[in-house]
Amino acid sequence: MVILTLNCGSSSAKYQVYDWDAKDVLASGVVERVTQEGSSITHNAKGKPEYTLNHECPNHTIAVELIIRTLTDPEVGVIKDMSVIKAVGHRVLHGGNKFIKSVVVTPEVLDTFREVQDLGPLHNPANIMGIEAAQKVMPNVPHCAIMDTAWHQTMPDTSFMYAVPHEWYEKYAVRRYGFHGTSFLYTAKRAAVLLGKKPAETNVIVAHIGNGASMCLVKNGQCFDTSMGITPLEGLVMGTRSGDCDPALAFYVMRKTGMTFQEVDTALNKKSGLLGITGKYVDRRDVIKAKDAGDKQAQLAFDMECYRLRKYIGAYIAGMGQKPDALVFTAGVGEFSAPIRQGVCEGLAHLGIKLDLEKNKIAMTRNAETCISADDSAIKIFVIPTDEELVMTEDAYALMKGTYDVHTKFTYSFQSPDYVNKARAEGLKKDLAKNPNLAKILIKIPGAK
């Protein structure tokens, strides 16, 4: 049985094809610059060289059609025809407060996504277009929606409510929602496995650091608080997003400059963060390179990002009400940037978080889970490569089979101590050949055979 997952953003369409019976990824890829000039597909199939093709995609329907043609192509494809696909899982950014778990897409579900798209204006319209495009091409296949916001629905009202007029919540659903939910679900469940604990007994702080970044306080295996808010703008310093700032800042800038609210919204979402501070850098690698070369603004951007992360860790330890079991780094920057991880952990030893500098430098892999804390650290520091596509795949499969439920009543395959990601296991062999010291920090899973 084969399951397709689609993640349609405003200008991209990512995909993965998963063989459920073999528990293996057959192919993955992305169509970039959808709705823009110069769009193209990059396709990686198991056992085949990377394939790229320039192809104009003025809309998501054409992008999805391009993905399907590529998947079924006699030379670069991995399936004979689309009848092999038995379910499609779609990432949806914002489900408002309407959903606490993934759902099968119905006309009513799509209408709900449209109702709340003002809460996710950059992403939800693209998510909806992606679903509709895939339904046109695969009308007889179950389509499932996996929402970033569902994981966070366990937050208490003290965490998700804003101190604003209560009628805003009642009439307009103004509240904290949080995002990166599938990533937090995966890493929290895997952290429990690595600790040898039941999810309901696990307390961790997870830092998902990519171009977009957020943190999650996981208490007794559930989301208790998170840094992003009603939109993905709140919280940490990000690639182009400001994160936390005085709400009155927008009004001040509008009065001073004459900018419209749309222009200020664009500035805070697309021209702020690391880009705003440095004037030219978004990628952390560029920021770090410039910082090391003496660029003062790059140094400031680096320090601000690390301090914001560090401040949230302190707040979440207080919110935990007890010593957390682990601090988890994940996503592209969290998994690969040793300097960022070091900057975040500096000065936290008094809270029980003590980084081993050598272990931290070694931890550079997307194919294994590593421990980078010092041996005498009271709180473990893990680097756990996230796998949002696997969560989407398993949710879609379970929805199709009628076995799915909220995550506290549902067990994923990756919660087993013996779980193995075949693609990552093969990739780890190559990583170890390049970096033999990596073997020293691989986590030995309690109870694994």
User: Nearest to residue 385, comparing CAs of 449, 336, 438?
Assistant: 336
Backbone phi and psi for residue 36, each to the nearest 5 degrees, phi listed first:
-125, 170
How far apart are alpha carbons 332 and 20 in whole angstroms? Answer: 26
Give the tokens for residue 99: 């959903």
Q: What is the side-by-side strand order in the sheet with 24-32?
A: 51-54, 40-45, 24-32, 12-19, 2-8, 85-92, 143-147, 103-104
Q: Which of 19, 148, 356, 395 is catalytic?
A: 148
**Other beta carbons within 10 Å of 207:** 25
CA count, 13 A, side-chain hemisphere, 202 = 27
Which H helix or E strand runs over 338? helix 338-345
How far apart are alpha carbons 96 and 150 in whole angstroms? Answer: 8
Per residue, the 3-state secondary structure of 26-89, as one string, reads EEEEEEECCCCCCCEEEEEECCCCCEEEECCCCCHHHHHHHHHHHHCCCCCCCCCCHHHEEEEE
Task: Tell me if residue 295 is catalytic.
Answer: no
Give the tokens for residue 36: 């823009």
**Other beta carbons within 10 Å of 402:** 6
Give the tokens for residue 274: 């690391």
Residues classed as catalytic = 148
